[in-house]
Amino acid sequence: MGIWLEGKPLAEKIKEDVRRQAAHFQQTMGKVPGLTAVLVGENPASQVYVRSKERACKALGLFSEILALPGDISQAFLEEKIDELNGRNEIDGILVQLPLPPQIDSYAIICRLSPDKDVDGLHPFSLGTILANKTGFRPCTPLGVVALLKEHRIPIEGRDAVVIGRSLLVGKSLAAMLTNENGTVTTCHSKTKDLSQVCSRADILVAAMGREVFVKPEFVKPGATVIDVGINSVSDPARVKEYFGEDEKRQKDLQSKGYTLVGDVHPAAIERAGAMTPVPGGIGPLTIAMLMQNTLDAFKRRRGITAPP
């Protein structure tokens, strides 16, 4: 049986460093890093995500604001708002919460961002810096995955890595980042033939397709490191019992919230893995920590600060 790779300890270490540096810049410059989250419409999940990011900023001493806009705005109106944020010197990072309403061209909006404020790492310029292996902003979740592997001294160089999922936000970006770390990377998706066989050769297996317990234990090479990026809600008591048995915490979740969270990997895969991230508590805490780190980095880059305080 493998060990659980909890993300919170590393996330707290990263956030403490951000807090320390923000306090230093407040004291010496009278300025702190600033983040604006752009929220369009009333998607409940998006509202929760944005509020959590706002709370994280305030806890670390960063300036934070939410630009909440109606769901029926036009493309031109949103582009105008992005231009305004690009021009505000006290704003170092701009985060456009996705998905956007159907009348909005999301790609055009991301392209409208100033690359030096693209703390989500989704601007084509940022993605290009990954492929070129040059300095730039990386998407927060892949950044957290790589940081967690390094924190636990899990080798990437020369290892076979399989990434299931090809989104810009996670799969494609992470595959390129693991390649930059000298891993040998295979990207899989819904059209991949013999997926379980491909996965079973991986020293590092990353599941990021958003499908509840899609990755079964037999996908996992004995001793492999499994990174579960998926977050799925399960409210059916029978499925919860199938995945977790009589786990007391999961039963309490069902009673108190009406659901519990499960990843893209079947929890029983821990029996074959050498190490595996839990859901919740694995990559999730690191995603927000890395957003805070990116916002701090944006503040420093925009002011030419290269030496650590």
Positive or negative, the CA dihedral 240, 245, 249, 252 is positive
Q: Which of 15, 21, 53, 203 is catalytic?
A: 53
Specify whether 118 is catalytic. no
Give the strands of the sheet with 275-276, arranged side by side: 3-4, 275-276, 225-228, 204-207, 160-164, 184-188
Specify whether 15 is catalytic. no
Please report where in the chains the tokens 């821990």 appear, as a residue: 270
Q: Which of 15, 21, 81, 120 is catalytic?
A: 120
Give the tokens for residue 253. 């979740």
Specify whether 191 is catalytic. no
Q: Which of 15, 21, 97, 117 is catalytic?
A: 97
The rounded distance, in Å, linking the Cα atoms of 180 and 184 is: 10
Q: What share of the chain is helix, strand, coil (3-state, %, to 5)?
A: 45, 15, 40
The rounded distance, in Å, linking the Cα atoms of 221 and 219 is: 7
Residues 162, 208 contacting (CB under 8 angstroms):
no
Enzyme catalytic residues: 53, 97, 120
